[in-house]
């Protein structure tokens, strides 16, 4: 294959990756705490033989997907009215104890288990400053304060463990709205808790759909470039054959 075909191939692979990422954003448009991602492209330069009449080495630049950028801006806050739906306004994460160790999430949809412990839908415990949070039936209606203080009828029950990281974009996604990291978890003093609310995803449908159209059109353009190139080659072969 020559450079034209390889160049279009490099873009086509990157375009497929882009569409996968856009599809995942759109699929999670209603997932609480989901953060949208976009593909970061980079060019890979390669030396090539100078064309006829040109002097010195020339480069050809291929494209490749270098990484995914996570947009960690806050999602829209929606009212649900459920007492264990908590939204974090500002930077910060809830700490969740899983079988694999501590994980972090911004999906604030919690529920109680049979023991009255606050858990995620997967049954993992939400961590307070002093471990798991257990609500006694006599506590009545539970109130979560803006700073994460949990109070019931019988007084304070505990305080949410809210953490933040030096580089929140580098958290690794685990599925089930959980993140894992090797970074040191710091306190998140600026996190404000809103009870009865959920932070929706920060996916903007307009951006995703227009980005998708853009990727598809440039994919088409690349495909037609390749078509044109192969037509050119075919003509060249036919003409050269006719000369002989």
Summarize as ranges the residues that interact with another protein (CB under 8 A).
12, 15-17, 19-24, 26-32, 34, 37, 40, 65-70, 79-83, 107, 109, 111-116, 121-122, 135, 137-138, 140, 169-170, 172-177, 182, 205, 208-209, 212-213, 216, 219-220, 223, 226-227
**Residue with Cβ nearer another protein (69 or 187):** 69
Give min distance, CB of 24 to another protein, in A. Answer: 4
Neighbours of 8 (CB within 10 A): 20
**Residue with Cβ nearer another protein (58 or 156):** 156
Cα(24)–Cα(8) distance, integer angstroms: 24
Give min distance, CB of 234 to another protein, in A. Answer: 12
**Residue with Cβ nearer another protein (1 or 242):** 1
Cα torsion 70, 72, 76, 77: sign: positive
Give min distance, CB of 139 to another protein, in A. Answer: 8
Cα(7)–Cα(48) distance, integer angstroms: 13
Question: Do 42 and 158 contact (CB within 8 A), yes or no?
Answer: no
Q: Using H for helix, E for strand and C for coil, what is the string for 132-146? A: ECECCHHHCCCEECC
**Residue with Cβ nearer another protein (50 or 76):** 76
Give min distance, CB of 143 to another protein, in A. Answer: 14
Closest CA to 64 of 6, 4, 3: 6
Give min distance, CB of 15 to another protein, in A. Answer: 7
Neighbours of 41 (CB within 10 A): 15
- Cα 31 to the chain's mean position, in Å? 11
**Residue with Cβ nearer another protein (81 or 130):** 81
């Amino acid at each position: 294959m020559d450079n034209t075909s390889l160049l279009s191939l490099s873009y086509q692979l990157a375009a497929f990756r882009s569409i996968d990422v856009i599809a995942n954003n759109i699929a999670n448009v209603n997932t609480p705490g989901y953060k949208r991602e976009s593909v970061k492209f980079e060019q890979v330069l390669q030396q090539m033989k100078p064309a006829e009449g040109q002097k010195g080495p020339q480069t050809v630049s291929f494209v490749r997907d270098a990484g995914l950028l996570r947009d960690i801006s806050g999602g829209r806050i929606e009212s649900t009215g459920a007492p264990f739906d908590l939204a974090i306004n500002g930077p910060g994460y809830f700490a969740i104890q899983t079988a694999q160790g501590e994980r972090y999430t911004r999906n604030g949809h919690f529920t109680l288990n049979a023991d009255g412990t606050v858990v995620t839908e997967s049954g993992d415990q939400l961590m307070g400053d002093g471990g798991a949070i257990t609500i006694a039936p006599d506590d009545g209606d539970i109130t979560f304060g803006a700073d994460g203080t949990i109070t019931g009828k019988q007084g304070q029950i505990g305080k949410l463990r809210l953490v933040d990281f030096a580089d929140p974009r580098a958290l690794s996604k685990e599925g089930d709205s959980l993140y894992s990291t090797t970074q040191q978890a710091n306190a998140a003093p600026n996190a404000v808790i809103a009870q009865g609310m959920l932070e929706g995803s920060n996916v903007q449908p307009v951006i995703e759909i227009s980005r998708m159209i853009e990727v598809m059109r440039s994919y088409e353009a690349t495909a037609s470039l390749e078509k044109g190139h192969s037509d050119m080659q075919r003509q060249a072969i036919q003409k050269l054959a006719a000369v002989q």
